[in-house]
A and B are shown apart, each in its own frame.
Chain A
Amino acid sequence: MPLMVLIVYSFNEGKSSRWTGFSIHWYEELFLNSRTLWNAFENSVLVALASSCVATLIGTLGAIGITWYSFVHKKYLRMASYLPIIIPEIVIGISLLIFFAGLHWQLSLWTIFIAHTTFNIPFVLFIIISRLDEFDYSIIEAAYDLGATEFHALTRVILPMSIPGIISGFLIAMTLSMDDFVITFFVAGPGSSTLPLHIYSMIRIGVSPVINAISVVLIAGTFIFALSSKNIQKYMFKK
């Protein structure tokens, strides 16, 4: 079933509407005339990178802490980290909106950044926790026995071993961030648009084949990205 629909709509995503002929016109339009769109795209990438980095950082540290240490607020943290996944995006979105408004913070790219990081953290956390669970803690104990300090143990042992997990966490965060619509919709300010938001407003305004062109570009891009990440993983394992 999905196959059929995929074929139908990929054929539709096209070069022209209503058979006025095959033309690349809309692609030209896309690449040359849509400054606002490219701005939005830049924003998306910027926010995605920033929020993924921070989320991965915070999440990794948190994951290490949760897996192997006990601390006062462990139960609280466990519960609190499940929340963003359970709570519907809309609720997260408006709660952040109200929060920012209450603090009189201007809605802007920063607020988007904060929102994205916030919902990225749980995902990164879970991915890395599941990765760390498979670890042999005795290696780390061995490091301590051999006299390593905490910092040493962290940087020389734990981090190198968990790099694949960290990378997957980071990639997932990037994907979630670039794709997110609902939450971003609520916390974006005027003048700070991301790609999904921009696409949304284009769809609302009306059907323009430029959207078709974007869709094709995005689909192709996703495809290429997926294939290349497979190859990169193979490459890394060969090392």
Chain B
Amino acid sequence: MRKRVGYIYTLPITLWITFFFVIPILIVFVFSFMKKKLNGGIVWNFSFADLSSLASGHITAFFSKVASHLTFDAYQSLLHPAFLKVVGVTLYIALAATFFTLLLAIPASYYIARSPRKNLLLLLVIVPFWTNLLIRIFAWITILGNNGFVNNILTSLGVITDPIQFLYSKSAVILVTVYTSLPYAILPLYSTIEKFDFTLLEASRDLGASNAQTMWKVFLPNIRVGVITAILFTFIPAIGSYAIPQLIGGTDSYMIGNVIARELTLNRNWPLASSMSLILTVITTIGIYLFVTLNSARIVRQESDVTAAGRSTNG
């Protein structure tokens, strides 16, 4: 009786997720292999006649009809240089954003962890996180826009006469991505640093290491888990970001997300949009997989290092 009940509990969730999630994704997968119809949609020449032909044993006819629908067209278009360029831009922006986020987040979390005012500082970091993404983006538009804060100050100080175009460039996208990713990076870094034994730093300095060496060889390796998590939470969303490039980016900073949207809505090229989505998903999944295995590999290695050290001193 117990076993049957488990089934009932999970029935609603299974049904819902399958119907509204798994199936749509599968549809996208299938669509990426199909031909595009003129006004959007795909070529779909099936009918019940085909099904009945399957039933009456004309298997080859059925499958050749299926095959006539399939094509690699969409994927071939992906090899077009314009698309590859977008992929390049996306990766570049995501990597740069991750790099700068780390650059800022590590010192910031270090400082917060050491500070007596931790809770207040943490709160200040989290509050923007609770605000809507669009509003944060809009805040940057107000600051960086042609009529914006920075330009106004510069003009009134007489430094420049015409406003500088800050927005609509790759750097602007990187900047805003960094800003929106910082809370996601600081929090895991902070929690790792919190557990870090700071006396190790003192010890290393007592043993004669310089500050730089201490940082590089003692501090960083020990917070590797936090760093990797921070990278994960910055890089992966950055690859899939849509709103930021759409609102802040210019023609040179189109990312994969924007292209997918454009193909689907403007060009009505469903197979193409599907194939791009699939590629995006694959990249994302590979990224996540890499990071997860890196993380557990490090943890295992650290633990085995510790046990090896323990054994060598005891044995």
- Which residues of A pack against B, CB within 8 Å? 1-3, 5-6, 8-9, 12-13, 17-18, 57-59, 61-62, 64-66, 68-73, 76-77, 80-81, 83-84, 86-92, 94-99, 101-102, 114-115, 117-118, 121, 125, 150, 175, 179, 181-182, 186, 196, 199-200, 203-204, 207, 211-212, 214-215, 218-219, 222-223, 226
B135 touches A61 (CB 8 A): no
With A1-B104, A182-B243 as known contacts, state yes or no: A95 contacts B127, CB within 8 Å: no
Contact with A along B90-128 (1 / 0, CB 8 A): 000000000000001000100000000000010011011
B10 touches A66 (CB 8 A): yes
B142 touches A12 (CB 8 A): yes
Q: Which one, B17, B31, B131, B141, contacts A121 given CB within 8 A?
A: B17
The majority secondary structure among interface residues of chain B is helix
B104 touches A150 (CB 8 A): no
Least Cβ–Cβ distance between A94 and chain B, in angstroms: 6
Task: List B residues 1-15 near A (Cβ within 8 Å).
Answer: 1-3, 5-10, 12-14
Contacts of B137 in A (CB 8 A): 203
Contacts of B23 in A (CB 8 A): 99
A80 touches B22 (CB 8 A): yes
B218: Cβ under 8 A from any A Cβ: no
Q: Which one, A62, A90, A203, contacts B261 given CB within 8 A?
A: A90
Contacts of B188 in A (CB 8 A): none
CB pairs A–B below 8 angstroms (6 shown): A2-B108, A2-B179, A72-B7, A83-B22, A121-B16, A179-B132
Least Cβ–Cβ distance between B178 and chain A, in angstroms: 9
B147 touches A207 (CB 8 A): yes
A181 touches B133 (CB 8 A): yes
Contacts of A179 in B (CB 8 A): 132-133
A9 touches B139 (CB 8 A): yes
Contacts of B142 in A (CB 8 A): 9, 12-13, 207, 212
Contacts of A196 in B (CB 8 A): 132-134
B284: Cβ under 8 A from any A Cβ: yes
The CB with the most chain B CB atoms within 10 A, among A65, A83, A200, is that of A65
> Cα distance A68–B143 when bound, in Å?
52
Contacts of B228 in A (CB 8 A): none
Least Cβ–Cβ distance between B257 and chain A, in angstroms: 5
Contact with A along B13-39 (1 / 0, CB 8 A): 110111011111101100100000000
The CB with the most chain B CB atoms within 10 A, among A3, A58, A90, A181, is that of A90
Contacts of B278 in A (CB 8 A): 91
Contacts of B5 in A (CB 8 A): 69, 150
B27 touches A95 (CB 8 A): yes
B13 touches A203 (CB 8 A): no
With A86-B285, A118-B21 as known contacts, state yes or no: A98 contacts B270, CB within 8 Å: yes
Least Cβ–Cβ distance between A149 and chain B, in angstroms: 10
B25 touches A87 (CB 8 A): yes
B138 touches A215 (CB 8 A): yes
- A-B interface, 4 closest residue pairs, ranked by CB to CB distance from nearest: A69-B6, A65-B9, A88-B240, A62-B13
Contacts of A186 in B (CB 8 A): 261
B124 touches A91 (CB 8 A): no
With A83-B21, A91-B280 as known contacts, state yes or no: A218 contacts B273, CB within 8 Å: no
> Cα distance A69–B20 when bound, in Å?
24
Least Cβ–Cβ distance between A159 and chain B, in angstroms: 13
A73-B10, A203-B137 known; 13 other A-B pairs, CB under 8 Å?
A2-B182, A12-B143, A18-B147, A61-B10, A62-B9, A87-B284, A88-B240, A91-B260, A98-B31, A114-B20, A179-B133, A196-B134, A203-B247
